[in-house]
């Protein structure tokens, strides 16, 4: 098999990125083991299920890394609309059953079709901006297509309703726009238009989503629901102190005061058990992954690679920043997983595809 692959690619594999990702995964797994001790999903311990997802993620990462990313460029405009098909299926199902589901179940595996859209959007935007270069910066009229594509995907996701993921798509788009240089006027216009659509977005939110946002500004508004969660998360994190209560010692999180303690609020347990020191280590690891990603983008030999790598960095950054900010009570609860730490198959695979793309771009910087 290795004979089929250019030896130089193996030589240029970014081991530091793999090491960083592996470290984050190990921390994630240990933390998940601690926070879900004794809990199972369909009879399988949660940490074990996540270990399987991580293994699959690694496999996918290498698969993605070893297929020349220029192929992804060729098929970017096919991949993006194809990734929206499951969303349409889900929407049709919603209309038929009147129910609300974010998942498509195939046998024992559930998958969240909104997750791969993030990657396919990065690829489509990268292709668009690598083929349409405006050295002086993009004008509003140049951005109609990427904006429309993102809006369609975000709208389909918002209908599920998954506010967090829809928001991430726009954050990715805006990050890339900055990266490829948008004219100041166009940027201001887009920002103002975005603000103008806020009432529309607000009205399309479900009651509980509105409550979460309102509770952020005034936790007293919903002391039993969102306000309660914010308050309890703060107690759990704060009680960790400088060095934490030690591995398996995070009683507060484990006793069930924290909602979604193995998914969106998974950081609480880590903060409680490893304290300030633990969080600093974790955040530094994240910072290094992001900086390394930026470096890969900078060193990329072509514009598509540079934008793709940057898009992946933006995706991981916004996930990390939004999740941590939410758990720390710095922003409203929107339901976004923390990469490498939150339990979840679809999000794990999506992030690992992103890492695979980074490795891909990194190891081909000398090839052509």
Partner 1 sequence: MKLSSSHSDDLKVRYRYFVIAISVFFIFILSRIWYLQIVRGDEFLQLAKNNRIRIRRVPASRGMILDRNGNILVDNRPSFQVSLVPEDIDDLNQVLPEMSRILHMDQKELRLRITRHNGRQPFYPVLIKSDISREQLAFLETHKMDLPGMVVDVIPRRSYSYNSLASHLVGYLGEIDQTELNEMKSSGYRQGDFIGKTGVEKQWESSLRGVDGGRQIEVDSVGREVRILSSVPPRPGNNVVLTIDLEVQKAVEDLLVGKIGAAVAIDPMSGRILAMASSPSFNPDLFASGICREDWITLLNTPFHPLQNKAIQGQYPPGSVFKIITAAAALEEGLLTPDETLECPGFFTLGRKTYRCWKKGGHGTVNLRRALVESCDVFFYQVALRLGIDTIAKYARQFGFGKPTGIRLGGEKPGLMPTTVWKQRKYHEAWYDGETLVSGIGQGAILVTPIQMANMISAIANGGILYRPQLVQRVEDVNGNVIEQYPSTVMSRVSVSKKTLQIIRQALRGVVEDPRGTGKAARIEGVPVFGKTGTAQVVKLETFEEMENEQDLPIRYRDHAWFVAYACRQNPSIAVAVLIQHGGHGASAAAPVARRIIEAVLHQDHPLHKRIALGERSSAESN
Residue 49 or 229 with smaller CB distance to partner 1: 229
> Least distance in Å: CB of 129 to partner 1?
10
Q: Please list, in sequence order, all residues whose beta carbon lies within 8 angstroms of the beta carbon of residue 91, skipping any fewer than 6 positions away.
A: 156, 159, 160
Told to check if 133 binds partner 1 by CB under 8 A, we report: yes
Q: DSSP readout, 128-177?
A: HHHHS--TT-B-GGGGHHHHHHHHHHHHHHHTTT-HHHHHHHHHHHHHHH
Told to check if 235 binds partner 1 by CB under 8 A, we report: yes
Q: What's the DSSP call for residue 332?
A: -
Told to check if 354 binds partner 1 by CB under 8 A, we report: no
> Least distance in Å: CB of 60 to partner 1?
26
Subset of 267-306 contacting partner 1 (CB under 8 A):
271-272, 275-276, 279-280, 283, 286-287, 290-291, 294, 297-298, 300-304, 306
Q: Please list, in sequence order, all residues whose beta carbon lies within 8 angstroms of the beta carbon of residue 315, skipping any fewer than 6 positions away.
A: 118, 119, 122, 168, 172, 351, 354
Told to check if 183 binds partner 1 by CB under 8 A, we report: no
Interface with partner 1 (CB under 8 A), residue from 178, 202, 247, 366: 178
Residue 53 or 304 with smaller CB distance to partner 1: 304
User: To 5 degrees, how large is the angle CA 137–CA 141–CA 147?
Assistant: 90
> Least distance in Å: CB of 130 to partner 1?
6
Told to check if 236 binds partner 1 by CB under 8 A, we report: yes
Q: Please list, in sequence order, all residues whose beta carbon lies within 8 angstroms of the beta carbon of residue 266, skipping any fewer than 6 positions away.
A: 28, 31, 32, 35, 260, 337, 338, 341, 342, 343
Told to check if 345 binds partner 1 by CB under 8 A, we report: no
Find, among 312, 338, 317, the residue nearest to 326 by Cα: 338
Told to check if 309 binds partner 1 by CB under 8 A, we report: no
Told to check if 246 binds partner 1 by CB under 8 A, we report: no
Pick the stretch among 1-9, 58-66, 318-326, 339-347 that binds partner 1 (CB under 8 A).
Answer: 318-326
Task: Report the run of H or E that residue 340 belongs to, with start and end.
Answer: none
Q: Please list, in sequence order, all residues whose beta carbon lies within 8 angstroms of the beta carbon of residue 104, skipping any fewer than 6 positions away.
A: 86, 89, 90, 110, 111, 112, 113
C-alpha 197/C-alpha 210 separation (Å) is: 16
Applying CB under 8 A, the residues found at the interface with partner 1 are: 130-131, 133, 135, 178-179, 181, 206-208, 220-225, 228, 231-232, 234-242, 251-252, 255-257, 271-272, 275-276, 279-280, 283, 286-287, 290-291, 294, 297-298, 300-304, 306, 317, 321, 324-325, 328, 330
């Amino acid at each position: 098999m290795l004979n089929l692959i250019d030896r130089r690619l193996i030589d240029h594999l970014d081991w530091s990125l793999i090491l960083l990702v592996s470290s984050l995964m190990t921390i994630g797994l240990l933390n998940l083991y601690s926070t879900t001790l004794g809990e199972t999903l369909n009879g399988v311990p949660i940490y074990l299920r996540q270990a399987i997802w991580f293994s699959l993620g690694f496999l996918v990462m290498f698969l993605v890394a070893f297929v020349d990313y220029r192929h992804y460029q060729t098929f970017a405009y096919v991949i993006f609309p194809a990734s929206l098909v499951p969303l349409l299926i889900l929407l049709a199902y919603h209309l038929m059953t009147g129910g609300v589901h974010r998942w498509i179940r195939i046998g024992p595996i559930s998958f969240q079709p909104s997750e791969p859209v993030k990657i396919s959007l990065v690829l489509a935007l990268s292709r668009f901006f690598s083929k349409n270069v405006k050295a002086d910066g993009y004008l509003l009229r140049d951005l109609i297509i990427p904006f429309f594509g993102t809006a369609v995907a975000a709208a389909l996701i918002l209908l599920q309703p998954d506010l967090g993921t829809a928001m991430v798509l726009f954050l990715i788009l805006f990050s890339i726009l900055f990266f490829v240089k948008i004219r100041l006027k166009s940027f201001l216009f887009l920002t103002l238009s975005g603000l103008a659509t806020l009432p529309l977005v607000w009205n399309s939110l479900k009651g509980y989503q509105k409550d979460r946002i309102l509770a952020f500004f005034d936790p007293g508004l919903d002391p039993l629901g969102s306000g309660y969660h914010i308050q309890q998360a703060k107690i759990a994190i704060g009680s960790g102190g400088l060095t934490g209560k030690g591995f398996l010692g995070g009683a507060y999180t484990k006793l069930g005061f924290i909602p979604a303690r193995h998914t969106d609020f998974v950081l609480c347990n880590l903060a409680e058990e490893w304290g300030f020191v633990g969080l600093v280590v974790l955040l530094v690891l994240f910072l290094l992954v992001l900086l390394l990603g930026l470096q890969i983008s900078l060193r990329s030999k072509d514009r598509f690679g540079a934008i793709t790598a940057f898009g992946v960095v933006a995706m991981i950054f916004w996930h990390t920043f939004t999740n941590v900010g939410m758990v720390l009570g710095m922003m409203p609860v929107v339901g976004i997983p923390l990469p490498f730490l939150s339990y979840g198959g679809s999000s794990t695979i999506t992030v690992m595809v992103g890492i695979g793309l980074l490795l891909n771009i990194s190891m081909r910087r000398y090839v052509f």
